[in-house]
C-alpha cells in the first residue's frame, strides 16, 4: 500500500469509545459549536469593556468607538479596557493552543507550559534581567521572557533526548518536571538575596493583563501569530502521533520533524503569552481537555476550539477578578488558578478526558 493511500487515514483518529461519546461527534455539530463559541467570545469581549469597578452601559461602550467625546467613560473604555481586552483575547488563545500542542506532542494529559518548565524559564530570564541589567520596563520584560522560554524548551529537549530512545513522552515529562524545579529554585535564590528585584518581579509573576498597553501586544504579536499558524497546521500530524510513534512512522510521518515543528509552535505561543502577561496557569492545562470532551481526539478540531475557549476563559477570569474584591482587584493569574483547579478535578471525575 502506498503512502498516499494511507496518509488520509492518519488525519482522522479511529473512532474510540470516547470519541463516539464526544458532545459534538459530527462535523456539522463541531462547526456550529465553534460558531457558538465565537459568539460567546464576542459577548465576553463586550463584557470585558463594560464591566469593572465602574460599570459602563453597553450603549456607552459602543459610543466610545462611534462618537468619542473625551468623557471619563469613553477614556476608560478606549485607553484602559480595550488594550486589556485585546491582550486577554490573544494571550488566552495562545495559552489554549500551546497546551493543546504540548499535550499532543508529549501524549501527556498533564502537559502545559507551567509544568514543563517553559513558564519557569521565562520567569528566570526576567529575574536575571532585573537583577543583572536593572530592567524595569514591562515591554522589555517581554523580550527576556520570550528568550527564557525558548532556552528552557531547548534545555528540555536536550535533557529528554539524551540517552537511548530519544525524547520519548515519559522522558519529556520527567525532564520538564526536573527543569521546572531547577529554574524555580534558581529564581527563588535570586529573589531571596535581593529584595529590590523581588519588589519589581512580584507584580509580574502573578500573571496579569492589567496595566499593559498595546505596545506589549505588538512586540509579541509576530511570535504569537507564527505559533498559531503552526498550531492550526499541526492537527493532522498530531493525530498520527497520537496513534503511537511506530504507527506514525509506518504512515510516512517523521516523528522528529513533527515534534520539532510543534515544539517551536508551543515555545512561540507560551513564550509570547508569558512575555505579554506573565505566567498564567491552568489555561493551557484545562482548556484542551474541555475541547477534547466536545469534539473527541481529533487535533484538527481540538486546536481551534482550544484557541477560542482559552480566550473565553481568560476574559471571564479577568472580569471576575475586577469585581471580586472592590475597590481593588484580583490578578487574572490568581483567578484562573482558583477556577481551573476545581474545574479540572470535576472533568476528571466526570470522565470527560478523551484519550490522547
| pTM of the predicted model as reported, rounded to 2 decimal places | 0.86
pLDDT the model gives residue 203? 66
Q: How far from each other are the two terminal CA atoms of the chain, in whole angstroms? A: 27
- Cell 476608560, located at residue: 76
Integer Cα distance of 139 and 217 in angstroms: 9
pLDDT in tens, 156-198: 878 877 777 666 767 777 888 889 899 989 988 888 877 777 7
Reply yes or no on whether the pLDDT at 137 is more than 80. Answer: no
Chain-wide mean pLDDT for the chain? Answer: 83
pLDDT in tens, 290-313: 999 999 999 999 999 999 999 999
Q: What 3-state DSSP class applies to 325? A: coil
- Cell 528552557, located at residue: 152
pLDDT the model gives residue 84? 92
Return the beta strands (E) in the chain as ranges. Answer: none
Count Cα atoms within 13 angstroms, Cβ side, for 301: 28
pLDDT the model gives residue 347? 59
Integer Cα distance of 177 and 187 in angstroms: 15
Report the range out of 35-44, 150-159, 344-353 with the highest average pLDDT.
Answer: 35-44
Higher pLDDT, 192 or 37: 37
Q: Is 242 exposed, middle or buried (0-12, 13-18, 19+ CB in 10 A)?
A: buried
Picking from 297, 255, 77, the residue whose alpha carbon sits closest to that of residue 168 is 255
Q: Is the dihedral of CA 49, 203, 331, 336 positive or negative?
A: positive
Separation in Å, CA 37 to CA 97, 194, 230, 306, 311: 15, 45, 22, 10, 10
**Of 122-126, 202-206, 258-262, 295-299, which range is least confident?**
202-206
Count CB neighbours of 280 within 10 A: 31
Which domains, and CATH codes, for the chain?
40-48+56-350 (1.10.3470.10)
Average pLDDT over residues 20-24: 77
pLDDT in tens, 322-336: 988 777 788 888 899
- Cell 502573578, located at residue: 206
Amino acid at each position: 500500500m502506498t503512502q498516499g493511500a494511507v496518509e488520509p487515514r492518519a488525519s482522522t483518529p479511529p473512532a474510540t469509545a470516547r470519541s463516539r461519546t464526544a458532545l459534538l461527534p459530527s462535523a456539522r455539530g463541531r462547526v456550529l459549536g465553534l460558531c457558538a463559541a465565537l459568539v460567546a467570545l464576542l459577548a465576553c469581549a463586550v463584557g470585558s469593556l463594560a464591566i469593572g469597578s465602574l460599570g459602563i452601559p453597553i450603549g456607552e461602550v459602543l459610543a466610545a468607538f462611534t462618537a468619542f467625546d473625551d468623557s471619563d467613560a469613553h477614556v476608560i473604555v478606549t485607553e484602559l479596557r480595550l488594550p486589556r481586552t485585546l491582550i486577554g483575547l490573544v494571550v488566552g488563545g495562545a495559552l489554549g493552543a500551546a497546551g493543546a500542542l504540548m499535550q499532543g506532542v508529549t501524549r501527556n494529559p498533564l502537559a502545559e507550559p507551567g509544568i514543563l518548565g517553559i513558564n519557569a524559564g521565562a520567569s528566570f530570564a526576567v529575574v536575571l534581567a532585573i537583577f543583572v541589567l536593572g530592567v524595569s520596563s514591562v515591554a522589555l520584560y517581554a523580550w527576556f521572557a520570550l528568550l527564557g522560554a525558548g532556552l528552557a524548551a531547548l534545555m528540555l529537549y536536550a535533557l529528554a533526548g539524551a540517552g537511548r530512545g530519544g525524547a520519548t513522552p515519559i522522558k519529556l515529562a520527567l525532564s520538564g518536571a526536573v527543569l521546572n524545579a531547577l529554574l524555580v529554585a534558581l529564581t527563588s535564590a535570586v529573589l531571596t538575596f535581593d529584595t529590590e528585584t523581588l519588589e519589581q518581579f512580584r507584580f509580574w509573576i502573578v500573571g496579569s493583563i492589567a496595566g499593559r498597553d498595546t505596545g506589549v501586544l505588538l512586540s509579541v504579536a509576530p511570535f504569537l501569530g507564527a505559533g498559531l499558524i503552526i498550531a492550526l497546521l499541526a492537527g493532522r500530524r498530531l493525530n498520527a502521533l497520537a496513534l503511537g510513534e511506530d504507527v506514525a512512522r509506518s504512515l510516512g510521518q517523521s516523528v522528529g520533524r513533527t515534534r520539532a515543528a510543534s515544539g517551536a509552535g508551543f515555545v512561540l505561543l507560551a513564550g509570547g503569552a508569558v512575555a505579554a502577561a506573565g505566567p498564567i496557569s491552568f489555561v493551557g492545562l484545562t482548556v484542551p481537555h474541555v475541547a477534547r470532551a466536545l469534539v473527541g481526539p481529533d487535533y484538527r478540531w481540538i486546536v481551534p476550539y482550544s484557541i477560542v475557549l482559552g480566550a473565553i476563559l481568560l476574559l471571564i477570569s479577568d472580569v471576575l477578578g475586577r469585581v471580586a474584591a472592590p475597590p481593588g482587584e484580583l490578578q487574572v493569574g490568581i483567578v484562573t488558578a482558583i477556577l481551573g483547579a476545581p474545574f479540572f478535578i470535576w472533568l476528571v471525575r466526570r470522565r470527560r478526558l478523551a484519550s490522547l
